[in-house]
């Protein structure tokens, strides 16, 4: 069985615990940093929206444009990103009820 490690990631000041391959940790943390930066950018650009709107906008951007969204993501990471984004969406939906 594949070795997975638990890591805590932060999305919009909320912590989520996920399990990933050890070799993916650096990339996950880098991407989550970019996602959080995009959330801040969206807050500045689209005042008056709900925090969930900003999160959704950032995650949709990464899910639909994995190669161009952060300027660093590679096409080979697209399936990895998709899987992690789906898990994040599930966790956010559970947290919001």
What does residue 47 show for φ and ψ, rounded to 5 degrees?
-60, 150
Least confident among 8-22, 43-57, 66-80: 66-80
E runs forming strands in the chain: 5-11, 14-20
Could you tell me the residue ranges of all domains in the chain?
5-96
Question: In the chain, which residue ranges form alpha helices assigned H by DSSP?
Answer: 25-45, 51-64, 78-96
pTM: 0.63
Percent of the chain with pLDDT over 70: 81
Check residue 71 and give its pLDDT: 47
3-48 pLDDT tens trace: 999 999 998 889 999 999 999 999 889 988 988 999 999 999 988 7
């Amino acid at each position: 069985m594949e070795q997975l490690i638990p890591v805590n990631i932060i999305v919009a000041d909320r912590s989520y615990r996920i399990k990933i391959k050890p070799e993916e940790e650096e990339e996950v943390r880098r991407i989550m940093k970019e996602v959080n930066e995009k959330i801040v950018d969206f807050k500045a650009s689209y005042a008056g929206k709900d925090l969930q709107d900003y999160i959704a906008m950032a995650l949709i951007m990464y899910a639909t444009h994995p190669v161009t969204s952060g300027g660093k993501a590679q096409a080979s990471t697209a399936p990895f990103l998709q899987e992690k984004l789906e898990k994040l969406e599930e966790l956010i939906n559970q947290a919001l009820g």
